[in-house]
Amino acid sequence: MASERIRPGVVLRGFALLASLVALGWLARWLADAGMLSERFIDAEVAGHGATGYAIFLGVGAIATALGLPRQVVAFLGGYAFGTAVGTGLALLATTLGCVATFFYARAFARALVARRFGARVRQFDEFLGRYPFRMTVIVRLLPVGSNVLTNLLAGVSRVKAWPFLAGSAVGYVPQTLAFALAGSGVAVAPEIEIAIGACLFVATALLGIALYRRHRHGAGLERSIDEALELPGAPREDAS
């Protein structure tokens, strides 16, 4: 039996994936070594530096969220560096840019890898978004559980269209971004009221997300895992050992 010829495109895609993973690992190491998401770095290089500080914060925040740093950390530091209004706007833009980067990275390079590793989750993700990807993405972003970067990766390898998912993500990011920017601003200027408002807003957002999720869920497998994370009534539980 004649052996199948290896297609050059397959080799090139594999090489591109390997190169991109090396680059991403280097970026993660660089961020960690430089301490670019610490209060000391924010004080020294970002806060009070005008347009340069904005650009540094946007770039570092986008890279960090694309690599998996919790978006709430970026929002907190945005409020700490720039105050509530500007910090919310910059953190929201940075987080959305990170979402865009991860989504299109997965769609361009990691489809086979992620689909093989998380094949069942990808199918469940498609079922969950269904005919209303914008609305369901907003609900996912409001929930107080789940991984931002994993959601972006799953969306990138799924059949969901880019713009409904990305637009829904940007809208769904707003409440928690505002909540954590308020908390960060409170730490910077020390009024306890802003931290308290941020905490209350986060709780209200989480409750709204859970209420909307319970209203719109339709029994897909992904919802069962969310039910377990939220400890909702009717969620399957493991027997006590």
Q: Residue 107: is its pLDDT beyond 70?
A: yes
Q: Residue 100: is its pLDDT beyond 50?
A: yes
So what's the pLDDT on residue 22? 58
Average pLDDT over residues 11-33: 61
Q: 156 with 107: CB under 8 angstroms? A: yes
Domain boundaries, the chain: 9-230
Q: Residue 218: is its pLDDT beyond 70?
A: no
| pLDDT tens readout for residues 136-184 | 999 999 987 778 988 998 888 888 999 999 999 999 999 999 999 988 8
| pLDDT tens readout for residues 25-70 | 666 666 666 677 788 889 999 999 999 999 999 999 999 999 888 8
**Measured distance CA(201)–CA(193) in Å, rounded:** 12
CB within 8 A of 42, min separation 6: which ones? 57, 77, 80, 81
| pLDDT tens readout for residues 79-99 | 999 999 999 999 999 999 999
So what's the pLDDT on residue 236? 41
CB within 8 A of 209, min separation 6: which ones? 139, 141, 142, 143, 144
Instruction: Supply the angle between the helices 148-157 and 84-108 in degrees, to the nearest 10.
Output: 40
CB within 8 A of 198, min separation 6: which ones? 178, 179, 180, 181, 182, 183, 186
The amino acid that residue 64 corresponds to is A
Q: How buried is 45 (Cβ within 10 angstroms: 0-12 exposed, 13-18 middle, 19+ buried)?
A: middle
So what's the pLDDT on residue 1? 43
Q: Residue 12: is its pLDDT beyond 70?
A: no
Q: Residue 233: is its pLDDT beyond 60?
A: no
Torsion angle of alpha carbons 89, 94, 95, 100, nearest 10°?
Answer: 130
So what's the pLDDT on residue 37? 73
| pLDDT tens readout for residues 110-138 | 777 666 777 777 787 888 887 789 999 99
User: DSSP secondary-structure letter at 107?
Assistant: H
Cα–Cα nearest to 71, from 154, 140, 159, 15 = 140
Helix (H, G, I), strand (E, B) or coil at 125: helix
Q: pLDDT category, 238, cuts 50, 70, 90?
A: very low
Give start and end residues of each alpha helix (H) in 109-191: 111-117, 119-129, 133-142, 148-157, 162-189
Return the residue matching tokens 């924010």: 42
CB within 8 A of 8, min separation 6: which ones? none
So what's the pLDDT on residue 176? 93
So what's the pLDDT on residue 38? 80
The amino acid that residue 172 corresponds to is G
The pTM score is 0.79
Q: pLDDT category, 10, cuts 50, 70, 90?
A: very low
So what's the pLDDT on residue 190? 57
